[in-house]
Chains A and B, each alone.
Chain A
């Protein structure tokens, strides 16, 4: 019997202009949890997509259980007993758990009807055996995200997968759900399954994995025995230099209240309230963080502050002035700088030049345009040059660079530069570092703290709990559109916030602000 469930040798995959995988070797032993670690863009997902048959590699060989295979499609992969749990679930919301699981290979009764009863029985058995505690008859829309993920796991177990690939499975989970997931992974391993865990979170690797393969910029950096490596060493392998995780910052000196949100209700895209009677305060000179799992009203909260979504009821007071129903333009002029969560959708006009993007919010004012409506390109370029220097934005052709040709980190720096430069009373930053590498993250965190120290009020919304804990002076946990509680950073830890994010007010001394 071969020792390796998977052996990938010399895998190379080239996308236009980018070598996503460059001669990568990757092997996983039968019955282990093997972590695949790397920053965004390191080539982890590409490598696993090749294994799962989503991409064809340009060169290299793949052996599954010692036998060389060509995997041309996910169906081939399924036949070989390889299953993948994607970051974004592929479930039909108004179907039951069982209906979702059997979709595509429904068992039939003698008369040709779908035999749901026998399918339900088998789902229940699998759920029992691996400790997933999923009810086969629940509808997807009525169960939690963590539970939906287990349905995805059941889906591939139902198809007899022996090798399970998890693509960043913890990104959508609360800390408690993460712990439960890691337990499930161990249980699956104990039952003889082989697991590949794609992640950039070191704690999860330390907790669950036995070995770890590290990729950086498409190349293999090394394979380490997790027990023998510290988190710092893993981080260094991933980034290529030593990194500090703690942001050193002076204690906040909060002043007057700048932003007061009172009993805010916002209707979300599904027509039901996404933000429900939310209240929150941000004072000058402090960073307040909104912690929560994706989809609990954060996006709608940001959109309501920006003026992109109408406010159904409640008030948004900036220094006492109610802006809940003000035009977007008025909010910008009142001094709200806002870094949107999706920099490609809202933050930038990708086909515009960098200098045009940096003037996107104030091109209509002096000095960028004169009173007859003509633009002053020299002033726009000069302003851009200043921000480029001040914020260390790296762009190939300076102010004239097309935004689309810049790296994600530099695009984000550009958006942050523009918003800070608008001299806002209030800086709202949604997902400040999503998809960025460690260097850019450190820089952006630093700039946010600098703004705080200059006496600005800062509101940070993030799904990354580490980021919230690191950056913020006060932390508001949000669940189902409500602030469950607000903690001082000193009394906050992952457990308590996690419990609040799950909707439990039991963060004990939590105060409603």
Chain B
């Protein structure tokens, strides 16, 4: 009878980790780290180096030298903010039954709009950067909303449309930004201080990191996501449309408007990310030489975060942690690609959720076989 005594524990662990999507994500992240650790050991390095780099990023403690420097925490957050925002963008679309691959393009139009307002709007302290942020949000919403409207009215696949819109955004941004007087092939003149998101308080707190007002904007965005999706009439309509368009329509919800609104809100998050990066981390407007990739990373962030507000925020912080740990890992002789590999593994494993479901179904079948119960 010992076997049956052991089995429940095993079952319990499995039950715990398959009982909710959130715990599946946790299990998957742990699995990703486990594989990453094995990989580091396999190439003959000490995995402890990887973890000490991560600890330093998250807490500021350099375990090797026993020095504390809060700047690392600040830089971690700076790295995470656009990931969280783009994650929210993809997640919002996901919750409403849409796949937004265009967060990258919406990020680019947001960034471009913010740069223009930063350079051309009146330099009024306290208002200038707010205008730039609003312009970016509006541009992102427009860029997403166009796709939503095309989808709702003409059944254009949002996947194809957003991919195309990414290219349009990228090249338009390059062309338009180079037209700015004083711009060369890679940058515009310097932004006035009134347009920047610098926060002396946050900088002081994190020992001079680039941490800025974007932090509060990101926190506000997470709250906004949580409230709108879960607590409002609008969120109810959007979720119903996402889960069953036919039933939503029959229930009197305007499905066309829902899809357009959902994509516009989704795009607004990515547009905000563009503004935060451009006004927070740069002192000049950029002529993009390539895509920053936050929008694409956002897909993975939303996936790992199960498209919930809190989950996406945590997943964004996790990915930001791995990204900003890369240089530190390299200084500890750990190949920095390991961080990317772990991110990749996490995404692959999470995509295997279907496999986890199969496992659960197989177990239910086993139980049914033993119990011979129906229903």
Contacts and interface: CB of A to CB of B under 8 A. Distances in A.
A412 to B, nearest CB: 14
Contacts of B365: 14-17
Contact of B252 (A58, A332, A407): A332
A426 B374 CA distance: 39
Contacts of B364: 16-17
A19 B246 contact: no
Contacts of B234: 373
A480 B354 CA distance: 44
Interface string A433-456: 000000000000000000000000
A299 to B, nearest CB: 13
B257 to A, nearest CB: 12
Interface string B213-246: 0000000000000000001111111011001101
B373 A19 contact: yes
B249 interface: yes
Most A C-beta atoms less than 10 A away, residue of B231, B251, B364, B374: B251
Given A17-B364, A19-B368, A374-B231, A308 B240 contact: no
B247 A360 contact: yes
Contact of A14 (B233, B236, B251, B369): B369
A323 to B, nearest CB: 13
B247 A14 contact: no
Contacts of B247: 345-349, 360
B265 to A, nearest CB: 14
Interface residues of B, number: 29
B328 to A, nearest CB: 42
Given A19-B372, A373-B233, A374-B232, A308 B249 contact: yes
Contacts of B232: 369, 373-375
Nearest to A364: B233
B375 interface: yes
Contacts of A374: 231-233
A496 interface: no
Interface in B247-283: 247-252, 254
B223 to A, nearest CB: 14
B244 A349 contact: yes
Given A363-B236, A374-B232, A375-B236, A18 B374 contact: yes
Interface string A45-89: 000000000000010000000000000000000000000000000
B80 to A, nearest CB: 29
B337 interface: no
A15 B364 CA distance: 9
Contacts of B236: 356, 363, 369, 375
A328 B257 CA distance: 14
B243 A351 contact: yes
B374 A19 contact: yes
Contacts of A300: none
A374 B234 CA distance: 8
Contacts of A211: none
A329 interface: yes
Given A14-B368, A364-B233, A346 B374 contact: no
Interface residues of A, number: 36
A338 B231 CA distance: 27
B361 interface: yes
Interface in A329-344: 329, 332, 338, 340
B368 A17 contact: yes
Interface in B332-375: 361-362, 364-365, 368-369, 372-375
A306 interface: yes
A218 interface: yes
Interface in B20-43: none
Contacts of A99: none
A487 B244 CA distance: 39
Nearest to A59: B369
Contacts of A95: none
Interface in A295-338: 306, 308, 327-329, 332, 338
A217 interface: yes
A339 to B, nearest CB: 11
A350 B368 contact: no
Contacts of A26: none
Contacts of A338: 250
Nearest to A217: B374
A345 B248 CA distance: 10
B115 to A, nearest CB: 34
A352 B243 contact: yes
A348 B245 CA distance: 10
A332 B253 CA distance: 11
A336 B232 CA distance: 26
Contacts of B239: 352
Nearest to B363: A16
Contacts of A345: 244, 246-247
A162 interface: no
A308 B248 CA distance: 11
Given A16-B361, A17-B365, A58-B369, A375 B231 contact: yes
Nearest to B241: A349
A19 B364 CA distance: 11
Interface string B287-315: 00000000000000000000000000000
A350 B245 CA distance: 11
Given A17-B368, A22-B372, A346-B246, A329 B240 contact: no
Nearest to A333: B252
Nearest to A330: B252
A329 B373 CA distance: 44
A346 B248 CA distance: 8
A361 B250 CA distance: 8
Which of B250, B364, B374 has the most CB atoms of chain A within a 10 A radius of its CB? B250
B251 A360 contact: yes
Contacts of B235: 375
A308 B250 contact: yes
A108 to B, nearest CB: 43
A415 B251 CA distance: 11
Contact of A349 (B248, B252, B369, B373): B248
A18 B231 contact: no
B250 A369 contact: no
Contact of B240 (A14, A340, A360, A369): A360
A349 B372 contact: no
A366 to B, nearest CB: 11
A348 B248 CA distance: 9
A370 to B, nearest CB: 9
B172 to A, nearest CB: 35
Given A22-B372, A332-B252, 7 more contacts: A17-B375, A308-B249, A328-B249, A329-B252, A360-B247, A369-B233, A373-B233
24 contacts: A14-B369, A16-B361, A17-B368, A18-B374, A22-B372, A329-B252, A329-B254, A340-B250, A345-B247, A346-B246, A349-B240, A349-B244, A351-B243, A352-B243, A360-B251, A361-B252, A363-B236, A364-B237, A369-B232, A373-B232, A373-B233, A373-B234, A374-B233, A375-B236
Interface of A: 14-19, 22, 58, 217-218, 306, 308, 327-329, 332, 338, 340, 345-352, 356, 360-361, 363-364, 369, 373-375, 407
Interface of B: 231-237, 239-240, 243-244, 246-252, 254, 361-362, 364-365, 368-369, 372-375
Q: 4 shortest A-B CB distances, which residue pairs?
A: A329-B252, A16-B361, A360-B251, A346-B250
